[in-house]
A and B are shown apart, each in its own frame.
Chain A
Amino acid sequence: MKPFDYVRALGPGDATAAAGREGAAFIAGGTNLLDLMKLGVMTPSTLVDITHLHLDRVETTEDAGLRIGALVTNSDLANHAAVRRDYAVLSRALLAGASGQLRNKATTGGNLLQRTRCPYFYDTAMACNKRDPGSGCRAIGGVTRLHAILGASAHCIATHPSDMAVAMLALGAGVEVEGADGKRRVVALDDFYRLPGEWPDIETVLEPGDLITAVLLPPPPQGRQIYRKVRDRASYAFALASVAAVIRVDSGRIASAALAFGGIAPRPWRDGDAEAALIGEVPSREVFERAADILLADAQGQGGNEFKIDLTRRLLVSVLTEATEERT
């Protein structure tokens, strides 16, 4: 590991000021950053410890939504009574991720900003535009089982690995950010992540020094909530594909549908047109297939991940079938 200066921030102002230094990075749970620092993939010269900032509370907001502090651990969030009861898709997504040990350390902010699991990104001997902008992309034409079928570019085909962020996207979450000027703003999670384009090293709309202070959830949605994750082993593995669905059926027709996808794109993926194709329809296999057609119209395989196109289609149809089944 490259040497670094360690700074313990005692207030958000401290944190954003220290993070303004060249080469500085925040550290929260450390479960992603330390892993990457050991490998020399990330080499911050200053580590700003934000774990003493008291951003570890889950509170009900004025509009009956939820405000989740950036330092709330993945375990505490998954086990929070209000989340289990009202935002089950989020509990389910968190419990489907990582391991008991990791969830006890991993934080809400860190989970949103975790880096890709592309094996070439992890291997400093390989060309990678995300790690080393302009060096090329060794994944293209390489082993691509984990890679994207939607939203990729000629410069990077990596996927975003988070489960939590997929559920939050389906729930319409917002990210509260404090800038170096001390001002707080809220960015819709749907506008938070950038597609790789020419610069896959820039993954979000955050500016240097920006601190995530919280994630905001709107009031609990009506309808059924499902998170389904497909992976290479039954537990403790990243998603090959996942779906978060919040679906409401009213008088035999689909009244609302929020769908987000993980493991298939450079960011948690949402497709308004696929959702719109469901609204007002009587649930049926044909209707679900049509939504899948729209979702996957631009899908492109990269060799080893070709299977994800069929997998995502079947996953979507299966989740929609379950979400719209009449309950006995």
Chain B
Amino acid sequence: MQTRLHVNGTTHHLDIDPRTTLLDALRDHLRLTGSKKGCDHGQCGACTVLLNGRRINACLALACMHDHDEIITIEGLGGPDDLSPLQAAFVAHDGYQCGYCTPGQICSATAMLEEMADGWPSHVTDDLTGATKPDATEISERMSGNLCRCSAYPNIVDAILAVAAERTRA
């Protein structure tokens, strides 16, 4: 089935079986192996990518349903020479051990900070109609869709908090 995917600013024409998930299209057809397959069932967040700016699990999406959509993967956020603020913060704060969950964590956190900037409340926000403040409790709740088998959580939260603080200063 003919599908056009706009990934990290490049348009790709793919001829794929309709069963192909967005994750498999990225990894196996476009060789963008930064997005990881942990569980393949929406339970771990390793496959998190940005779909039209929002974070989703690429393992629970069919590529053919995203004809023409804009997708950004970890490769599109930055590379070794131009790290995104979150990528740099994960390095500075040692926000990983094995690194398998890291691309998903960083994609997820990238969109999560936008959600906070847009005033989205979370399960732990006291006032649904008030302001949200990025603290460890909020970050942990909002990042609960990204599991880390190495349990690097404290440093992941620190890295994200550092970027959140920088953003509020700016």
CA distance A79 to B40 in the complex (A): 28
Among the 9-residue stretches A93-101, A240-248, A255-263, the one with 4 or more Cβ atoms under 8 Å from chain B is: A93-101
Q: How far is the CB of B169 from chain A (nearest CB, A)?
A: 24
CB of A307 within 8 Å of the partner chain: no
Across the interface, do A100 and B115 meet the contact criterion of CB distance under 8 Å?
yes
Does A56 make an interface contact (CB < 8 A)? no
Give 1 or 0 for each of A177-214: 1 = CB within 8 Å of chain B CB: 00000000000000000000000000000000000000
Chain B residues with CB below 8 A from A176, complex form: none
Asked if B102 CB lies within 8 Å of chain A CBs, one says: no
> With an 8 A cutoff between CB atoms, is A35 at the interface?
yes
Q: How large is the interface on B (under 10, 10 to 19, 20 to 34, 35 or more residues)?
A: 35 or more
Picked from A35, A96, A104, the residue with its CB within 8 Å of the CB of B123 is A96
A75 at the interface (CB under 8 A from B): yes
Shortest CB distance B147–A (Å)? 8
Q: Do residues B18 and A6 form an inter-chain contact, with CB atoms below 8 A?
A: yes
Chain B CB within 8 A of A38 CB: yes
Contact A95 B48 (CB under 8 A): no
Report if A35-B120 is in contact (Cβ < 8 Å); known contacts: A30-B65, A101-B55: no
Contact indicator per residue, chain B 23-60, by CB within 8 Å of chain A (1) or not (0): 00000000000000000111001001001001111001
* CB < 8 Å A-B pair total: 98
- Shortest C-beta distance, B7 to chain A (Å), equals 18
- Chain A contacts of B111 at CB under 8 A? 100
Query: Does B128 lie at the interface of the complex (its beta carbon under 8 Å from any beta carbon of A)?
Result: yes
A254 to B122, CA, bound (A): 30
- Partner pick for A38 among B41, B55, B123, B128, CB 8 A cutoff: B41
- Which positions in A face B, CB cutoff 8 Å? 1, 3-6, 27, 29-31, 34-35, 38, 47, 49, 51, 75, 78-79, 81, 84-85, 88, 91-92, 95-96, 98-102, 104-105, 234-236
**Could you list 25 A-B pairs, sorted by A, with CB under 8 Å?**
A1-B19, A6-B1, A27-B62, A27-B65, A30-B61, A31-B42, A31-B57, A34-B21, A35-B42, A35-B60, A79-B120, A79-B121, A84-B129, A85-B129, A88-B128, A91-B128, A95-B122, A99-B145, A100-B143, A100-B145, A101-B55, A101-B57, A104-B55, A105-B57, A234-B141
Please list the residues of chain B having a beta carbon within 8 angstroms of any beta carbon in chain A.
1, 17-19, 21, 40-42, 45, 48, 51, 54-57, 60-62, 64-65, 108, 111-112, 115, 118-123, 128-129, 140-146
- 5 closest A-B pairs by beta carbon, nearest first, are A99-B145, A235-B144, A6-B18, A236-B144, A84-B128
